[in-house]
Chains A and B, each alone.
Chain A
Amino acid sequence: MEKETLLKELQHPETRERAFSELVRDYQERLYWHIRRMVLNHDDTDDVLQNTFIKVYKNIDTFRGDSAVYSWMYRIATNEAINFLQKQANKYRISNEELRAQLVNNLVSDPYFDGDAIQLKLQKALATLPEKQLAVFNMRYYEEMKYEEISAVTDTSVGALKASYHHAVKKIQEYLKQNG
Protein backbone atom coordinates (compact mmCIF):
# COMPACT_ATOMS: atom_id res chain seq x y z
CA MET A 1 0.00 0.00 0.00
CA GLU A 2 1.24 3.48 -0.85
CA LYS A 3 2.40 5.52 2.17
CA GLU A 4 -0.10 8.32 1.56
CA THR A 5 -2.95 5.89 1.04
CA LEU A 6 -1.99 4.04 4.21
CA LEU A 7 -2.05 7.25 6.22
CA LYS A 8 -5.44 8.23 4.79
CA GLU A 9 -6.87 4.82 5.58
CA LEU A 10 -5.42 4.93 9.11
CA GLN A 11 -7.09 8.27 9.70
CA HIS A 12 -10.46 7.24 8.28
CA PRO A 13 -12.74 5.50 10.84
CA GLU A 14 -14.12 3.01 8.31
CA THR A 15 -10.74 1.78 7.06
CA ARG A 16 -8.73 2.33 10.22
CA GLU A 17 -8.86 -1.21 11.62
CA ARG A 18 -7.80 -2.89 8.42
CA ALA A 19 -5.01 -0.39 7.79
CA PHE A 20 -3.80 -0.70 11.37
CA SER A 21 -3.64 -4.49 11.04
CA GLU A 22 -1.53 -4.05 7.93
CA LEU A 23 0.72 -1.61 9.74
CA VAL A 24 1.22 -4.05 12.62
CA ARG A 25 1.99 -6.92 10.25
CA ASP A 26 4.46 -4.84 8.22
CA TYR A 27 6.37 -3.28 11.08
CA GLN A 28 6.08 -5.56 14.11
CA GLU A 29 9.33 -7.43 13.43
CA ARG A 30 11.41 -4.39 12.55
CA LEU A 31 10.21 -2.49 15.61
CA TYR A 32 10.56 -5.58 17.80
CA TRP A 33 14.26 -5.89 17.00
CA HIS A 34 14.78 -2.15 17.35
CA ILE A 35 13.33 -2.29 20.87
CA ARG A 36 14.87 -5.64 21.79
CA ARG A 37 18.39 -4.35 21.11
CA MET A 38 17.75 -1.62 23.66
CA VAL A 39 15.86 -3.38 26.45
CA LEU A 40 17.39 -6.86 25.80
CA ASN A 41 14.70 -8.94 27.52
CA HIS A 42 11.90 -10.48 25.40
CA ASP A 43 9.02 -9.84 27.84
CA ASP A 44 9.99 -6.20 28.30
CA THR A 45 10.34 -5.84 24.54
CA ASP A 46 6.86 -7.28 24.04
CA ASP A 47 5.45 -4.79 26.54
CA VAL A 48 7.22 -1.81 24.96
CA LEU A 49 6.23 -2.93 21.45
CA GLN A 50 2.56 -3.17 22.44
CA ASN A 51 2.75 0.28 24.04
CA THR A 52 4.28 1.60 20.83
CA PHE A 53 1.45 0.31 18.66
CA ILE A 54 -1.19 1.48 21.13
CA LYS A 55 0.32 4.98 21.01
CA VAL A 56 0.37 4.87 17.23
CA TYR A 57 -3.31 3.85 17.18
CA LYS A 58 -4.38 6.50 19.67
CA ASN A 59 -2.45 9.34 18.04
CA ILE A 60 -2.90 8.54 14.38
CA ASP A 61 -5.46 11.35 14.03
CA THR A 62 -2.98 13.91 15.30
CA PHE A 63 -0.17 12.67 13.03
CA ARG A 64 0.20 15.32 10.37
CA GLY A 65 2.30 13.30 7.97
CA ASP A 66 5.32 15.60 8.08
CA SER A 67 7.49 12.49 8.13
CA ALA A 68 6.87 8.97 6.91
CA VAL A 69 4.64 6.83 9.12
CA TYR A 70 7.47 4.40 9.73
CA SER A 71 9.83 7.21 10.89
CA TRP A 72 7.12 8.35 13.28
CA MET A 73 6.65 4.80 14.57
CA TYR A 74 10.40 4.36 15.00
CA ARG A 75 10.45 7.61 16.96
CA ILE A 76 7.68 6.39 19.26
CA ALA A 77 9.38 3.02 19.70
CA THR A 78 12.73 4.65 20.53
CA ASN A 79 11.13 7.00 23.06
CA GLU A 80 9.11 4.19 24.61
CA ALA A 81 12.24 2.04 25.00
CA ILE A 82 14.24 4.91 26.51
CA ASN A 83 11.36 5.79 28.87
CA PHE A 84 11.06 2.16 29.90
CA LEU A 85 14.77 2.00 30.80
CA GLN A 86 14.52 5.29 32.67
CA LYS A 87 11.52 4.06 34.67
CA GLN A 88 13.28 0.82 35.53
CA ALA A 89 16.35 2.73 36.73
CA ASN A 90 14.14 4.98 38.88
CA LYS A 91 12.24 1.99 40.25
CA TYR A 92 15.40 0.29 41.46
CA ARG A 93 17.05 3.60 42.35
CA ILE A 94 20.10 2.94 40.23
CA SER A 95 21.73 4.85 37.41
CA ASN A 96 20.96 4.06 33.77
CA GLU A 97 24.45 2.63 33.34
CA GLU A 98 23.99 0.32 36.32
CA LEU A 99 20.63 -0.80 35.00
CA ARG A 100 22.01 -1.61 31.56
CA ALA A 101 24.89 -3.57 33.13
CA GLN A 102 22.30 -5.46 35.20
CA LEU A 103 20.20 -6.24 32.11
CA VAL A 104 23.27 -7.66 30.36
CA ASN A 105 24.08 -9.81 33.42
CA ASN A 106 20.50 -11.13 33.36
CA LEU A 107 21.05 -12.40 29.82
CA VAL A 108 23.10 -15.31 31.20
CA SER A 109 19.96 -16.87 32.67
CA ASP A 110 17.56 -15.58 30.00
CA PRO A 111 15.79 -18.48 28.23
CA TYR A 112 15.54 -16.34 25.10
CA PHE A 113 19.23 -15.54 24.88
CA ASP A 114 21.49 -18.13 23.39
CA GLY A 115 24.60 -16.05 22.87
CA ASP A 116 28.14 -17.24 23.44
CA ALA A 117 30.90 -15.42 25.33
CA ILE A 118 31.70 -13.14 22.37
CA GLN A 119 28.07 -12.12 21.92
CA LEU A 120 27.74 -11.46 25.63
CA LYS A 121 30.89 -9.33 25.54
CA LEU A 122 29.43 -7.34 22.66
CA GLN A 123 26.30 -6.70 24.72
CA LYS A 124 28.49 -5.49 27.58
CA ALA A 125 30.27 -3.15 25.18
CA LEU A 126 26.95 -1.84 23.85
CA ALA A 127 25.75 -1.30 27.42
CA THR A 128 28.44 1.33 27.87
CA LEU A 129 26.75 3.58 25.28
CA PRO A 130 24.18 6.18 26.32
CA GLU A 131 20.65 5.16 25.21
CA LYS A 132 20.32 7.64 22.36
CA GLN A 133 23.76 6.80 21.00
CA LEU A 134 22.89 3.11 21.25
CA ALA A 135 19.69 3.71 19.28
CA VAL A 136 21.66 5.51 16.56
CA PHE A 137 24.27 2.74 16.46
CA ASN A 138 21.61 0.03 16.18
CA MET A 139 19.70 1.83 13.44
CA ARG A 140 22.87 2.38 11.43
CA TYR A 141 24.76 -0.87 12.03
CA TYR A 142 22.11 -3.54 12.49
CA GLU A 143 19.12 -2.04 10.72
CA GLU A 144 21.28 -0.50 7.99
CA MET A 145 19.22 2.65 7.87
CA LYS A 146 20.48 5.68 5.99
CA TYR A 147 21.58 8.68 8.02
CA GLU A 148 18.75 10.68 6.43
CA GLU A 149 16.23 8.12 7.70
CA ILE A 150 17.76 8.13 11.18
CA SER A 151 17.68 11.91 11.06
CA ALA A 152 13.90 11.80 10.46
CA VAL A 153 13.48 9.45 13.42
CA THR A 154 15.70 11.25 15.90
CA ASP A 155 15.18 14.80 14.65
CA THR A 156 18.95 15.23 14.67
CA SER A 157 21.19 16.52 11.88
CA VAL A 158 23.01 14.03 9.68
CA GLY A 159 26.35 15.52 10.75
CA ALA A 160 25.60 15.00 14.42
CA LEU A 161 24.45 11.44 13.72
CA LYS A 162 27.65 10.62 11.85
CA ALA A 163 29.71 11.93 14.76
CA SER A 164 27.55 9.99 17.23
CA TYR A 165 27.93 6.74 15.27
CA HIS A 166 31.68 7.23 14.89
CA HIS A 167 32.00 7.86 18.62
CA ALA A 168 29.95 4.73 19.40
CA VAL A 169 32.14 2.58 17.15
CA LYS A 170 35.30 3.90 18.85
CA LYS A 171 33.83 3.20 22.27
CA ILE A 172 32.85 -0.36 21.37
CA GLN A 173 36.24 -1.04 19.78
CA GLU A 174 37.98 0.27 22.87
CA TYR A 175 35.85 -1.88 25.17
CA LEU A 176 36.45 -5.01 23.12
CA LYS A 177 40.18 -4.28 23.01
CA GLN A 178 40.43 -3.72 26.76
CA ASN A 179 38.35 -6.77 27.59
CA GLY A 180 39.66 -9.01 24.82
Chain B
Amino acid sequence: MKSKHSHNSKDEGFKFPQGYFEGLEARAKSAAAFKEAIPDEEGFEVPEQYFAGFEVHLRKRMRGQTPVLHFLQTYRKYGYYAAAAVCLILISTLFTLDVRSTPVFSELKTSDIEWLLDSGMLEIPESYLMENPVMADISAINFSGNTIEPNALESYLLDELDIYDLTE
Protein backbone atom coordinates (compact mmCIF):
# COMPACT_ATOMS: atom_id res chain seq x y z
CA MET B 1 0.00 0.00 0.00
CA LYS B 2 1.33 3.44 -0.86
CA SER B 3 1.86 5.85 1.99
CA LYS B 4 0.14 9.23 1.72
CA HIS B 5 3.22 10.82 3.21
CA SER B 6 5.63 9.37 0.69
CA HIS B 7 6.65 11.08 -2.55
CA ASN B 8 8.23 9.63 -5.65
CA SER B 9 11.48 11.13 -6.82
CA LYS B 10 11.24 11.24 -10.62
CA ASP B 11 11.46 7.71 -12.00
CA GLU B 12 13.86 5.83 -9.72
CA GLY B 13 11.21 4.59 -7.35
CA PHE B 14 12.84 6.00 -4.20
CA LYS B 15 10.56 7.68 -1.69
CA PHE B 16 11.00 10.08 1.20
CA PRO B 17 8.64 11.40 3.87
CA GLN B 18 6.58 14.46 3.06
CA GLY B 19 8.19 17.69 4.32
CA TYR B 20 11.55 15.93 4.74
CA PHE B 21 13.66 18.60 3.06
CA GLU B 22 11.76 21.52 4.62
CA GLY B 23 12.79 20.47 8.12
CA LEU B 24 16.21 19.03 7.24
CA GLU B 25 18.28 22.12 7.98
CA ALA B 26 16.63 22.77 11.33
CA ARG B 27 17.08 19.13 12.38
CA ALA B 28 20.73 19.08 11.31
CA LYS B 29 21.44 22.29 13.23
CA SER B 30 19.68 20.98 16.30
CA ALA B 31 21.63 17.70 16.20
CA ALA B 32 24.91 19.56 15.72
CA ALA B 33 24.13 21.90 18.63
CA PHE B 34 23.31 18.95 20.85
CA LYS B 35 26.55 17.13 19.96
CA GLU B 36 28.46 20.31 20.69
CA ALA B 37 26.84 20.67 24.10
CA ILE B 38 27.68 17.09 25.07
CA PRO B 39 31.33 16.55 26.06
CA ASP B 40 33.19 13.83 24.14
CA GLU B 41 34.60 12.27 27.28
CA GLU B 42 32.34 11.22 30.13
CA GLY B 43 34.93 11.35 32.91
CA PHE B 44 34.49 7.73 34.03
CA GLU B 45 37.57 5.68 34.80
CA VAL B 46 38.15 1.97 35.33
CA PRO B 47 40.72 0.43 37.71
CA GLU B 48 43.87 -0.72 35.99
CA GLN B 49 43.72 -4.27 34.62
CA TYR B 50 40.04 -4.49 35.53
CA PHE B 51 38.94 -6.08 32.26
CA ALA B 52 41.97 -8.38 32.15
CA GLY B 53 41.03 -9.85 35.51
CA PHE B 54 37.26 -9.68 35.19
CA GLU B 55 36.70 -13.28 34.10
CA VAL B 56 38.87 -14.61 36.93
CA HIS B 57 36.74 -12.72 39.49
CA LEU B 58 33.55 -13.82 37.78
CA ARG B 59 34.59 -17.49 37.76
CA LYS B 60 35.56 -17.28 41.42
CA ARG B 61 32.14 -15.94 42.31
CA MET B 62 30.41 -18.55 40.16
CA ARG B 63 32.38 -21.33 41.86
CA GLY B 64 31.27 -19.95 45.22
CA GLN B 65 27.66 -20.19 44.14
CA THR B 66 27.78 -23.50 42.28
CA PRO B 67 27.79 -26.03 45.19
CA VAL B 68 24.75 -24.38 46.71
CA LEU B 69 22.99 -24.46 43.39
CA HIS B 70 23.81 -28.12 42.77
CA PHE B 71 22.64 -28.95 46.27
CA LEU B 72 19.38 -27.08 45.73
CA GLN B 73 18.85 -28.64 42.32
CA THR B 74 19.50 -32.17 43.66
CA TYR B 75 17.17 -31.80 46.59
CA ARG B 76 14.63 -29.57 44.90
CA LYS B 77 12.11 -32.39 44.33
CA TYR B 78 12.44 -33.47 47.98
CA GLY B 79 11.89 -29.86 48.93
CA TYR B 80 8.60 -29.86 47.03
CA TYR B 81 7.48 -33.02 48.83
CA ALA B 82 8.45 -31.58 52.21
CA ALA B 83 6.63 -28.31 51.47
CA ALA B 84 3.52 -30.24 50.39
CA ALA B 85 3.63 -32.37 53.57
CA VAL B 86 3.94 -29.28 55.77
CA CYS B 87 0.99 -27.68 53.97
CA LEU B 88 -1.14 -30.82 54.48
CA ILE B 89 -0.31 -30.95 58.18
CA LEU B 90 -1.14 -27.28 58.59
CA ILE B 91 -4.44 -27.62 56.73
CA SER B 92 -5.47 -30.74 58.68
CA THR B 93 -4.54 -29.01 61.95
CA LEU B 94 -6.69 -26.04 61.04
CA PHE B 95 -9.67 -28.28 60.20
CA THR B 96 -9.39 -30.40 63.32
CA LEU B 97 -8.75 -27.47 65.62
CA ASP B 98 -11.64 -27.10 68.10
CA VAL B 99 -12.19 -23.40 68.44
CA ARG B 100 -14.43 -24.02 71.49
CA SER B 101 -11.44 -25.42 73.32
CA THR B 102 -10.02 -21.93 73.79
CA PRO B 103 -9.37 -21.70 77.54
CA VAL B 104 -11.80 -19.64 79.61
CA PHE B 105 -10.45 -17.94 82.70
CA SER B 106 -13.17 -19.24 85.01
CA GLU B 107 -12.43 -22.82 83.91
CA LEU B 108 -8.74 -22.71 84.68
CA LYS B 109 -7.46 -24.71 87.62
CA THR B 110 -6.43 -22.71 90.67
CA SER B 111 -2.91 -24.12 90.47
CA ASP B 112 -2.67 -23.04 86.83
CA ILE B 113 -3.86 -19.54 87.67
CA GLU B 114 -1.33 -19.32 90.47
CA TRP B 115 1.48 -20.47 88.17
CA LEU B 116 0.43 -18.06 85.47
CA LEU B 117 0.20 -15.17 87.94
CA ASP B 118 3.61 -16.00 89.37
CA SER B 119 5.05 -16.08 85.88
CA GLY B 120 3.53 -12.69 85.14
CA MET B 121 1.65 -14.22 82.22
CA LEU B 122 -1.85 -13.57 83.46
CA GLU B 123 -3.83 -10.61 84.59
CA ILE B 124 -7.16 -11.29 86.27
CA PRO B 125 -9.81 -9.53 84.24
CA GLU B 126 -11.76 -6.89 86.10
CA SER B 127 -15.03 -8.39 84.88
CA TYR B 128 -14.14 -11.65 86.60
CA LEU B 129 -13.58 -9.87 89.91
CA MET B 130 -16.91 -8.05 89.58
CA GLU B 131 -18.71 -11.35 88.99
CA ASN B 132 -16.95 -13.08 91.89
CA PRO B 133 -17.27 -10.70 94.89
CA VAL B 134 -16.00 -13.36 97.29
CA MET B 135 -12.56 -13.14 95.78
CA ALA B 136 -12.71 -9.35 95.82
CA ASP B 137 -13.72 -9.28 99.46
CA ILE B 138 -10.80 -11.41 100.51
CA SER B 139 -8.65 -8.32 100.16
CA ALA B 140 -10.78 -6.65 102.84
CA ILE B 141 -9.69 -9.25 105.38
CA ASN B 142 -6.71 -8.20 107.41
CA PHE B 143 -4.23 -11.07 107.48
CA SER B 144 -1.57 -10.48 110.10
CA GLY B 145 1.07 -13.15 109.95
CA ASN B 146 -0.56 -16.53 109.41
CA THR B 147 -3.66 -15.84 111.56
CA ILE B 148 -6.90 -14.09 110.82
CA GLU B 149 -8.09 -11.40 113.19
CA PRO B 150 -11.21 -12.74 115.01
CA ASN B 151 -13.11 -9.50 114.35
CA ALA B 152 -12.40 -9.65 110.66
CA LEU B 153 -13.49 -13.30 110.47
CA GLU B 154 -16.68 -12.54 112.36
CA SER B 155 -17.65 -9.61 110.16
CA TYR B 156 -16.81 -11.61 107.01
CA LEU B 157 -19.02 -14.49 108.13
CA LEU B 158 -21.85 -12.19 109.10
CA ASP B 159 -21.69 -10.38 105.78
CA GLU B 160 -21.26 -13.33 103.48
CA LEU B 161 -23.04 -16.31 105.00
CA ASP B 162 -26.73 -16.80 104.94
CA ILE B 163 -28.21 -17.24 108.40
CA TYR B 164 -30.19 -20.21 107.11
CA ASP B 165 -26.91 -21.98 106.26
CA LEU B 166 -26.08 -21.98 109.96
CA THR B 167 -29.51 -23.04 111.21
CA GLU B 168 -29.98 -25.92 108.80
Q: Which residues of A contact B (CB under 8 A)?
A: 21, 24-25, 28-29, 32, 36-37, 40, 42, 46, 49-50, 53-54, 57-58, 107, 111-116, 118-120, 122-123, 141-142, 169, 172-173, 176
Contacts and interface: CB of A to CB of B under 8 A. Distances in A.
Interface residues of B, number: 22
B71 interface: no
Contacts of A50: 57-58, 61
Contacts, number: 71
A57 B42 CA distance: 31
A12 to B, nearest CB: 18
A119 B39 contact: yes
A114 B42 CA distance: 9
B90 to A, nearest CB: 31
Interface of B: 33-34, 37-39, 41-47, 50-51, 54-55, 57-58, 61-62, 65, 69
Contact of A173 (B37, B47, B51, B69): B37
Contacts of B38: 122, 141, 172
Contacts of A53: 58
A170 B50 CA distance: 35
B65 to A, nearest CB: 7
A136 to B, nearest CB: 15
